[in-house]
A and B are shown apart, each in its own frame.
Chain A
Amino acid sequence: MSVTQGRLKATVMDADQIRRSLSRIAHEIVERNRGTHDVVLVGIPAKGDHLAVRLAAKLMELEGAPVAVGSLDISQHRDDRHLREPAHRGTSQMPDVGGKVVVLVDDVIHHGRTARAAMDALMDFGRPQAIQLAVLIDRGHRELPIRPDYVGKNVPTSDAERIEVLVAEDDGIDQAVIVAG
């Protein structure tokens, strides 16, 4: 998908804002968990895994200790897989999550169904001590009782709009935009 497919309505975060939001989330993760000792970051492709790697670098900077990073394939756990092909299919790369505080990382939370699937998928790899959720953008319209622990920016949207997060690793630029659906 690219921005050109829809009508660009507004930029909701630029590269600076994304960088600062990730810095803030890193601080919040440290404060909430009193350090990063038991923390593992697990990104949800295709954008969340890049954001998880960036968060890990920021945590390393803050705490001086490396934080394990994983990437989670959730395609087998989506509740809509009988309706459509999963957008991303891959293989999970998972460090040991047993007894750890796993921070799931994704770019956008909307209905909450991806986060639910991710929690389900994660359980195949062990029993974390706790699961937390970090997202760059919360656009509302939840259909499940799920609330992120760390939010870069709340962006109220209508269901007809789409939010697209571009990351430099894939898209050459860091930007979050709203496009007409």
Chain B
Amino acid sequence: MAVGSRLRHVIESQQFSRSLLEDLFARSDEIKRDPHRFSGRLNGQVMAALFYEPSTRTRLSFEAAMMRLGGQTMGTDNAREFSSAAKGETLEDTIRIVSGYADVIVVRHNEEGAAKRAAAVSSVPIINAGDGPGQHPTQALLDLYTIKDELNRIDGIRVAMVGDLANGRTVRSLTYLLSKFKDIQLSFVAPPLVAMRDDLKAHLDEHHVPWVETEDLESVLPEVDVVYMTRIQKERFADPAAYEAVKGIYRIDKGSLELMRKYAIVMHPLPRVDEIAPEVDADARAAYFRQARNGLHVRMALLDRLLA
């Protein structure tokens, strides 16, 4: 890998420079093409996965990445109810202890900012695997890698982000990353109640990234290269009637595919509920399962970068 900036912890999308992203993606390409060449890279190293919030897929993806590089993993899926935290131990103390056992710690936490707090006291690299409504930087990395892999470029693309944009940390993290590239155009498609938050819009304005906001998905579909769907999260609505009013309003089906460009892709961080009809899966533009698979290669590249 080319000599790039130093990478110590992975906390938020903003920390990645364009050149570091390009390095990581080049390594991801190599791994994707010939994974076995990297099978012994992290022999003897140990990854700890501390999940204060359950996430089977993210955790399995990290564990698979570490094991495919020859490393080993340990962890807990219910760190909050488990042992020391239940006894009142702070996150900081847990990290101090675990960083004595492991070479890298993957943390998923329910509180925004938890990963930063962990990094402040850790003697080994911390990887943020999602901190509440905050960020999910490795998801954003694999999302961006998928765009590059599918469309062969990032500069100049038009992306529609659809669904719950206020609470979806994946769209927030991805938007930060996209703002580092040239001639990006963003369309935010959401009901007003869960529209993209103002802080991110201000960030885009500051970086001269044009964006538009609309509630009309159909008008956007013919114009874009990427349709990024998200789930409208029931648990984020205080008023059940408000949820009922907006649930299922955006759905990609065969009719939507007709409107889309023939090369454009549909992405989704998964799990999906009814935002994407199963009939879409058979279309070559359905990129979400390839996206999930890319997660393995990008996380391998990231662990390799941090530890090899």
List chain A positions with a Cβ less than 8 A from chain B: 9-10, 12, 16-17, 19-21, 23-24, 27, 58, 151-154, 156, 178
Contacts and interface: CB of A to CB of B under 8 A. Distances in A.
B152 A20 contact: no
A23 B152 contact: no
Given A20-B284, A154-B152, A10 B33 contact: yes
Contact of A24 (B29, B30, B151): B151
B152 A16 contact: no
Interface string B1-39: 000000000000000000000000010011001100000
Given A10-B33, A19-B284, A27 B263 contact: yes
Nearest to A25: B263
Contact of B33 (A20, A153, A178): A178
A175 to B, nearest CB: 14
A27 to B, nearest CB: 6
Interface of B: 26, 29-30, 33-34, 150-153, 225, 261-263, 284-285
A27 B261 contact: yes
A-B pairs, 8 with minimum CB distance:
A24-B263, A16-B284, A23-B262, A23-B263, A20-B263, A10-B33, A153-B152, A151-B152
Nearest to A151: B152
Nearest to B151: A24
Contacts of A152: 152
A125 to B, nearest CB: 30
B19 to A, nearest CB: 16
Nearest to A22: B263
Contacts of B29: 156
Contact of A10 (B26, B34, B261, B262): B34
Nearest to A24: B263
A143 B141 CA distance: 32
A24 B147 CA distance: 13
Contacts of A16: 284
Nearest to A150: B152
Contacts of B150: 20
7 contacts: A19-B284, A20-B150, A20-B285, A21-B263, A24-B261, A58-B262, A156-B30
Given A153-B152, A156-B26, A20 B34 contact: no
Given A152-B152, A153-B152, A178-B33, A20 B26 contact: no
Nearest to B285: A20
Contacts of A156: 26, 29-30
A51 B272 CA distance: 37
Contacts of A19: 262, 284
A19 B26 CA distance: 24
Contacts of A20: 150, 262-263, 284-285
Contacts of A153: 152
Given A9-B34, A19-B284, A24-B225, 13 more contacts: A10-B33, A10-B34, A12-B33, A17-B284, A19-B262, A20-B262, A21-B152, A23-B262, A27-B263, A151-B152, A153-B152, A156-B26, A178-B33
